[in-house]
Structure 1
Amino acid sequence: MDIGSAILIIGFAALVAAFLLLVIGLAFSELMNSDIPRRLPNRRKLHMVHGLFVGIAIVGRILHRLGVCRQVSFIRWFVARFLARLNPVPAGLRVKDLDFCEVPVRVYEPTTACDGLRRGLVYFHGGGWVMGSIDSVDEVCRHIAQESDTTVVSVGYRLAPDHRYPAQLDDCEAATCHFLSSAEAGFSVDPRRVAVGGDGTGANLAAALCQRLATRQNGHLLSPCAQVLIYPALQMADFNLPSYQQNHAVPILFRGRMAFYFLQYLNGDISLCQDVLEGNHVPTDLRACFKEWLSPSNLPPECLIRGIFECPKPEYDGGVYHAVKAGLEPEVSPLLADSALIQKTPPTFILTCEYDVLRDDGILYRKRLLDLGKNVTWQHLTEGFHGMINFLNQGWLSFPSALQVMDGVVDYMKKL
């Protein structure tokens, strides 16, 4: 090897080492800002998983600034290539990839004998309307289908930032209505026993869809018989609820990240993130209206044990409001819908986790439903964190506690 080649090799190695040191340094800095409660089981694994996700995001950010690719494209590629674990289809289950009204779906059909028609579930994955896919909830949908003897339809709706609201909700509506209209003839499913559900922002889409369909009810259109909401994101008005304060730095969903996702869903203007976090986007009259539904006094006393603090009074900014006002409408914030609309929604299953910024969204929606005399089943995991179900049966990434979530969903589905 000549001297020139040796210098090139050494130079390349030094460049790679510098890049890795930069990523490690930035990731370490991010990790120091996290707060994993001691009560959480598998704390070390969660810390490691969070570090991996932070590292992927940082590499994506560097590649984006270098003009190589978009950060979100790199993260999606990496997760699909190295982290998504698609196990062989087990016996007793048939899995098919189809299109419903040009929306990609994956259908999970139990093959065991059944007397009469089966129940169904249309499922919307989470991921902040930006991440996630049919593959990311493959194990979740398999588990529900097998354990509850339910035909599950997983919907691959369009994602931000390439597609903004209401594209995602429109896709979910199109796929759901197609399945409701073809359930009996095409899938041996009783259309009167079809629920919709999802996790995180997927649960947001399920709740928003139930409200949208409720406004269009007529004698010829069937509606979901229930909504299954797993740690749902339900409002964009208040990012200072007790759960947002107490869990602001608990992986894998930080407080600031949730505001970021809402903005990506609406318009992509992340420069408004701090204003939204502070509540400067909510007009005074609307804030007074929302206070009735978002007051911490509506929460169980145990939700306040870890403490809350009084936030500075927001400074309303009309420009910010007009940029994000769709986020305060029911189709983005179902918790903020009028009582007359919520009254029309179907029976509900809500699962919340103690160490999740979205905990109070689910609990406050439960209270609104109960106050209106609606049928609600609530499960709360005192040692749960956001995103648990994505680690169901994922090899070294698995968290045993994910089964607690799935057991609650399966039990509820069996009763429909």
Structure 2
Amino acid sequence: MGILLAIFLAVLAGIVAIAFYYEHPKAEIPHGISERQKLYVLHYFMNFGLGLATFLDKVGIISEAHFLRALMETIPPLKDARLLIKDSRFERVKVRIYQPKTSNNSQRRGMLYFHGGVGRFGSIRAYERTCRYFCRKTNSVVVCVEYRLAPEHPFPAQFEDCLTAAVHFLRTAQDHGVDPSRVVICGDSSGGTLTAAVAQALVNRRDLPKLRAQILIYPFLQCVDLNLPSYQQNKGVPILLKERTLVLGLKYVNLDLGITKEVFKGCHVSEDRRLKYQKWVSPDNIPHEFKTRGYKPSPKSLPSKKICEVAEPVFDPVFSPLLAEDSVIAQLPETFLLTCEFDVLRDDGLLYKKRLEDHGIKVTWCHLEEGFHGTLFLAVLAKAIRFRSGTKGLEKIVNFLRLM
């Protein structure tokens, strides 16, 4: 127990050191450390944290999910006298509302934010800085949704909470000083997945104002083909490794991790599904310039009836929004889509971009050539772990929002 406590305190000391940078913006990283080196140092500490979380879970001290949540909860928010911040509930769902203190003669734009964390961790507190940033920079009312987390609340509870919050916000927008015709939903990573799923769920709601736009930040969008070019090229690139992506996804929908190898081979996709989805999920739909960096077409293995039955939940459009029917895609709102070159999920975004544009949906695409998964989240934290790509991505989103 003493050793475990020492390890935990070491991690805590690292967090405190990072927190020092949060409160001391003049602190600088040593000269000569490149962005790539910073990324791999960050990846080392992340792997250490994940390894510790797994170990503590196996020995019965604390579950992996709860340990990771606790780490994210240590991110301290900065004081900000320019904003009014209050906690509330939209129906049964906890939310935090951020409003500029400055007076406004007209109703503001509203943003509903769904945080990342693969449906298992992440929180309002962890994304406090992100939401404050968007509120300040765009003069918007920002609402962060504290949706329930797995495994205590199994999938799709997360989607249900986000949809409930979106419906409530659209109905009561004016109560918060928001123009109902200027409501935008936004999310990063799995929060981007939730954003896409909520936007799809709202397309046929005639009793609500239409969403003004959706903002998808490096979203996970499909579990049909995990050998797309970006999965091959970036399988070992921090922070989201190829195997980690699938493991976290399977945990999210409470599936046995024993099917991981078969899913990578494509054994979970029946012939009928393969024929249906090939027009939407195919390397042929990825522009050539994204295939030049070490991509080789992968032969598909024969489907396994048993694996296909077990993997059924991953084809739900709530989990894989890229698989929604054309009739849904054609009604989606204007979209801002951000992808990163060094991200296994890059091609999910490229495929969704093509589907949207094929149906006449206006898409503003931001591709970060130096970007990696998580770079925007880091951009609002410590200067020591901030990357150029993340800062650029945030600026692009702010510029898009100002036009809404």
**Taking structure 2 as the reference length, what is the TM-score of the superposition?**
0.89
Deviation at 1:171, TM superposition (A): 0.3
Name the CA distance, whole Å, in 1 between partners of 2:275 and 2:381.
Answer: 45
Please name the residue that 2:393 is paired with: 405
Structure 1 residue matching 2:299: 3-state secondary structure: coil
Deviation at 1:339, TM superposition (A): 1.0
Name the CA distance, whole Å, in 1 between partners of 2:101 and 2:216.
Answer: 27
Deviation at 1:115, TM superposition (A): 2.6
Please name the residue that 2:136 is paired with: 146
Deviation at 1:310, TM superposition (A): 2.6
Name the CA distance, whole Å, in 1 between partners of 2:188 and 2:34.
Answer: 21
Name the CA distance, whole Å, in 1 between partners of 2:76 and 2:387.
Answer: 14
Deviation at 1:17, TM superposition (A): 12
Please name the residue that 2:375 is paired with: 388
Structure 1 residue matching 2:239: 3-state secondary structure: coil
- Structure 2: tracts of 5 or more residues without a match: 12-32
Name the CA distance, whole Å, in 1 between partners of 2:54 and 2:323.
Answer: 34
Please name the residue that 1:29 is paired with: none
1:289 aligns with 2:309: no
Structure 2 residue matching 1:256: 3-state secondary structure: helix
The residue type paired with residue 120 of structure 2 is: V
Structure 1 residue matching 2:119: 3-state secondary structure: coil
- 1:161–1:268 contact (8 Å) kept in structure 2: no
- Structure 1: tracts of 5 or more residues without a match: 1-11, 24-39
Name the CA distance, whole Å, in 2 between partners of 1:312 and 1:18.
Answer: 48
Name the CA distance, whole Å, in 2 between partners of 1:18 and 1:117.
Answer: 52
Name the CA distance, whole Å, in 1 between partners of 2:252 and 2:56.
Answer: 23
Name the CA distance, whole Å, in 2 between partners of 1:182 and 1:63.
Answer: 44
1:211 aligns with 2:211: no
The residue type paired with residue 135 of structure 1 is: R
Identity of aligned residues (%): 39
Please name the residue that 1:107 is paired with: 97
Structure 1 residue matching 2:279: 3-state secondary structure: helix
The residue type paired with residue 65 of structure 1 is: K
Name the CA distance, whole Å, in 2 between partners of 1:144 and 1:17.
Answer: 38
Please name the residue that 2:258 is paired with: 271
| The one of 152, 156, 159 aligned to 2:149 | 159
Structure 2 residue matching 1:56: 3-state secondary structure: helix
The residue type paired with residue 42 of structure 1 is: E
The residue type paired with residue 67 of structure 1 is: G
Name the CA distance, whole Å, in 1 between partners of 2:268 and 2:280.
Answer: 18
Name the CA distance, whole Å, in 1 between partners of 2:380 and 2:214.
Answer: 24
Name the CA distance, whole Å, in 1 between partners of 2:343 and 2:397.
Answer: 18
Structure 1 residue matching 2:280: 3-state secondary structure: helix
1:254-298 C-alpha deviation (Å, 9 max, x unpaired): 111111122122124222222222211111121122111122222
Deviation at 1:47, TM superposition (A): 1.2
Deviation at 1:378, TM superposition (A): 0.4
Please name the residue that 2:17 is paired with: none
Q: Quick one: structure 1 residues 17 and 228, their matched pair in 2 at CA, closer, same or farther if it must change by over 3 Å?
A: closer
RMSD: 2.1
1:329-369 C-alpha deviation (Å, 9 max, x unpaired): 22211111111110011111100000000101111101111
Structure 2 residue matching 1:352: 3-state secondary structure: strand
Give the structure with higher Rg (CA): 1
- 2:233–2:294 contact (8 Å) kept in structure 1: yes
- 1:122–1:195 contact (8 Å) kept in structure 2: yes
- 1:128–1:258 contact (8 Å) kept in structure 2: no
Instruction: Please show how residues 17-416 of structure 1 align to structure 2 within 5 Å.
Output: 42-81=35-74, 84-89=75-80, 91-184=81-174, 186-215=175-204, 217-218=205-206, 220-395=207-382, 396-416=384-404
Name the CA distance, whole Å, in 2 between partners of 1:73 and 1:283.
Answer: 36
Structure 2 residue matching 1:240: 3-state secondary structure: coil
Deviation at 1:221, TM superposition (A): 2.0
